[in-house]
């Protein structure tokens, strides 16, 4: 894996374990194209109209990311395994769309699926798009009023929309493809506020099976913003609430897609850790939120309860996702 460069930021402000520099303008980002092979995609902007998608390569300058969208309304971006495209949710009033945009900065976003599509009557919200390993399919979460949230899949050209799974009693949150692309592992539960299960959904049969009914021995209760399977398919990471705040957890996956040995990875007091994303098979990037802002850090996936060294990666970013693995 390429070494991530932060261009002397740690030397300037001690950023290996603290907040961002306050006197740098982070609102930039070009629109004329750029080189991206692997790195983070993320959102900047507080109001809906100002929320846009940015991307920065591992070898690029984190203080000058490339802006991929200009219309605002961008949420929960996810970068494809090959690093060529970003999927995200676009919100404009009551209309929601799953869109994709190339990571080069050359090309406009295209709509893959909209909440107004006739194949999704009553859809009120779309969330958490994620690419299949081959980049040809998206799975995302669909909300229909007070009905249980469902998973759905669609090809990236907008064809083949299908609800998943078949005849299940669960509410679903975020999901992630298994390494072979034949299924997804998703946050699930008996209500939208109690997603305390990890569920494997077979994309061929549509059947859903609970693969972990507990989130480890750390007091975690609810899976939060993201579930993500490692590229080699041997581990799954997620964020969950604990008595001390949201933390990142990692569990091992066996050949039967069962989760075991779930451990807490992060644990810095006074912060919230969300949006885990794999950087290879041994390291995680994640969003650390504290008084003063939201920034992206990385940490070893084998850390125990915050014992690992947090490395500052990216300032003033939210909802990060790593790709180009």
Higher pLDDT, 26 or 261: 261
Q: What is the pLDDT of residue 145?
A: 82
* Per-residue pLDDT tens digits for 110-131: 999 999 999 999 999 999 999 9
Are 29 and 62 in contact, with CB atoms under 8 Å apart?
no
What is the average per-residue pLDDT within 78-94? 95
> How would you label 59-85 residue by residue, b for 16+ Cβ within 10 Å and e otherwise?
ebebbbbbbbbeeebbbbbbbbbbbbb
Q: Which of 66-70, 142-146, 148-152, 239-243 has the highest mean pLDDT?
A: 66-70
Give the pTM: 0.87
Higher pLDDT, 304 or 87: 87
* Per-residue pLDDT tens digits for 44-74: 998 999 999 999 999 999 999 999 999 999 9
* Per-residue pLDDT tens digits for 219-261: 667 888 999 999 999 999 999 998 889 999 999 998 777 899 9
CB atoms within 10 A of CB 317: 24
Higher pLDDT, 213 or 158: 158
What is the C-alpha to C-alpha distance for residues 81 and 84, in angstroms, rounded to an integer? 8
* Tokens matching residue 49: 């109209």
Residue among 103, 13, 26, 114 at smallest CA distance from 58 = 103
> DSSP 3-state helix, strand, coil percentages of the chain (rounded to 5)?
0, 45, 50
Task: Report how far apart, in Å, the C-alpha atoms of 153 and of each of 113, 195, 239, 273 are.
Answer: 10, 20, 23, 28
What is the average per-residue pLDDT within 33-48? 87
* Per-residue pLDDT tens digits for 88-114: 999 999 999 999 999 999 889 999 999
Q: What is the pLDDT of residue 217?
A: 57
Domains (range + CATH), the chain: 29-323 (2.120.10.30)
Q: What is the pLDDT of residue 2?
A: 35
């Amino acid at each position: 894996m390429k070494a991530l460069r932060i261009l002397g930021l740690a030397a300037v402000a001690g950023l290996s374990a603290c907040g961002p520099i306050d006197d740098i303008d982070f609102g930039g980002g070009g629109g004329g194209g750029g080189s991206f092979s692997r790195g983070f995609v993320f959102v900047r902007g507080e109001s809906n109209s100002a929320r846009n998608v940015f991307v920065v390569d591992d070898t690029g300058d984190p203080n000058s990311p490339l802006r991929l969208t200009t219309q605002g309304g961008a949420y929960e971006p996810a970068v494809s395994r090959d690093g060529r495209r970003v999927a995200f949710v676009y919100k404009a009033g009551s209309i929601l769309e799953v869109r994709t945009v190339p990571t080069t900065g050359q090309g406009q976003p295209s709509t893959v699926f909209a909440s107004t599509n006739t194949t999704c009557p009553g859809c009120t919200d779309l969330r958490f798009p994620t690419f299949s390993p081959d980049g040809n399919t998206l799975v995302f979460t669909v909300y229909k009023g007070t009905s249980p949230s469902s998973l759905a899949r669609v090809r990236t050209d907008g064809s083949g929309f299908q609800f998943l799974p078949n005849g299940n009693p669960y509410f679903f949150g975020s999901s992630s493809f298994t390494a072979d692309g034949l299924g997804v592992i998703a946050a699930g539960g008996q209500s939208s506020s109690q997603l305390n299960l990890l569920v494997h959904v077979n994309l061929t049969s549509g059947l859903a099976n609970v693969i972990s009914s507990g989130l480890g021995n750390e007091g975690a209760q609810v899976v939060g913003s993201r579930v993500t399977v490692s590229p080699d398919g041997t581990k799954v990471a997620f964020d969950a609430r604990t008595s001390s705040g949201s933390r990142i957890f990692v569990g091992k996956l066996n050949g039967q897609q069962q989760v075991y040995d779930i451990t807490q990875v992060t644990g810095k007091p006074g912060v919230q850790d969300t949006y885990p994303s794999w950087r290879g098979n041994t390291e995680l990037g994640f969003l650390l939120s504290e008084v003063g802002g939201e920034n992206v850090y990385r940490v070893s996936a084998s850390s125990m309860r915050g014992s690992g060294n947090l490395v500052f990666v990216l300032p003033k970013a939210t909802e990060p996702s790593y790709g180009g693995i």
